[in-house]
Structure formats: C-alpha cells, structure tokens
Amino acid sequence: MRVLGRRAKMGRRQLARPMKNNLRYAFGLVVLVVTMGIFWWLVKPAREALNQSAAVQPPAKLNANPPPAAAPKLPPVAPPVVPPASVAAPGQGSAAAIPKSETADPRLALGTALPDFIRLVDAGDYIAATEAYLQLPPEISAQQFVAALQQNPDFPQTVRMMLNTMRAAQEVTPTYNDAGDRATYTLSPAVDGKTSIRWKKVEDKWMLDAIEN
C-alpha cells in the first residue's frame, strides 16, 4: 500500500510538471504581447512625427542677388492748364493784374512814373502808391495816411477825381523848371475843377508834389 501510494504521488508530480511549464509559457507569452503593445503605443507617436517632418520639404534657397524689381509704370501726367490772363476793370482788381512798366524803377522817368501811379491807384493799392509817390513826414506812415483818408466819406470821389486828372495829364506835355527837377502838367480845360498837377524829383525819383485848382 505504501508503494502504491508513493507511485500515485509520483504520478501526480509528473503530471503537474507539464502543467506548470504550460502556465509559465502562457504567462511569458502574455507578458511579451503586453510589452510589445506598450512599446508600440510609445513608439507610434514618435514615428508619426518623424513621417510628418520628412514630408515637409526644406525651404527653397534664397537668391543672394535677386533681379531688380521693375519700376512701376506711372500714368502720364497732363500738363497744367494755364488760364488766360484776365484784365481787371478800372478801379477793380489788384496792381499785379495790370502790366507794369518795363523800366526797372518807373520813378526814374516822368513818362513811366505817371502811368505807374495811375496803375496802383486804379488797382486800389493805395498804400503802395503812397509809399512810392508821396513824400510824407517821417512820423506818419503810409498805412496811417491811407487809413485817415478812408475815414472821409468823400474818399471814393477823391480817388475818382485823382484818376481823371492823372489820365488827362497823360495827354499833356509837361513843362520843367530850369533845374529840371520840377514838372507841371497844365490841364485846359480843368478836369473836375483841377487845373494843374505838379511833380518833383527826389533823389532821382519823380514823386507827386501837388494837384492844384
């Protein structure tokens, strides 16, 4: 009985050994599969990143000496249109609208001083006419003189009278004194009650001296 018991026990041990070996193999296989799965899970994103970076092409090489850019074409510019010169009516406009004398300084000759004085007064540039052709006291400026005249309600009539007498003087030959520095235009008949206009030379420049009744 003891012998049979030992043999039965040895038989059970012999049967258990293959089963243990099979379990060890199966466990090792499971561990291998799990390990490979984890390795693939870790490696897959890295492989995808490498594939994407390989798909991106390197940037093109820049040309160190690029060809010069063509200049933009501009539309043709039309020449400016110059308006025709307008002639101001008597008593209107500015002195610049009325042609000046060709003499560098019109006051150097009586034949150009008289037309230039008419031009300035006719254009309404009374201050320039006063500065150029009237000899005022040093304490009175041309601006003050003209402002005082313009306060007189008869100022427009005075300007009209002056222009009429000066234009009439252009049709008259002046007479000079012996020194040649005084000239008188005698108006006959009288113009607006004025009978003569006197001019005088101051430092080689002709200036208005007086308008007489």
pLDDT of 98 strictly over 70: no
Residues of the chain above pLDDT 70, percent: 52
Enumerate residues 6+ apart whose C-beta is below 8 A from 12. Answer: none
CA–CA dist 37, 34 (Å, integer) = 5
**Sorting pLDDT into bands at 50, 70 and 90, what band is 75?**
low
Q: Predicted confidence band at 197 (pLDDT cuts at 50, 70, 90)? A: very high
Residue ranges covered by each domain of the chain? 1-48, 95-212
Residue 179 and residue 160: Cα distance in Å, rounded?
32
Of the listed ranges 21-35, 69-83, 86-100, 193-207, the least confidently predicted one is 86-100
CB 133 within 8 A of CB 207: yes
When pLDDT is averaged across residues 64-75 and rounded to a whole number, the result is 55
pTM > 0.75: no
In this prediction, residue 104 carries a pLDDT of 83
Confidence check: pLDDT of 17 > 90: no
Mean pLDDT of the chain: 73
As to burial, measured by CB atoms within 10 angstroms (0-12 exposed, 13-18 middle, 19+ buried), residue 199 is: buried
- Output b/e per residue, 95-133; b: 16+ Cβ within 10 A: beebeebeeeebbeeeebbbbbbbbbbbbbbbebbbbbb
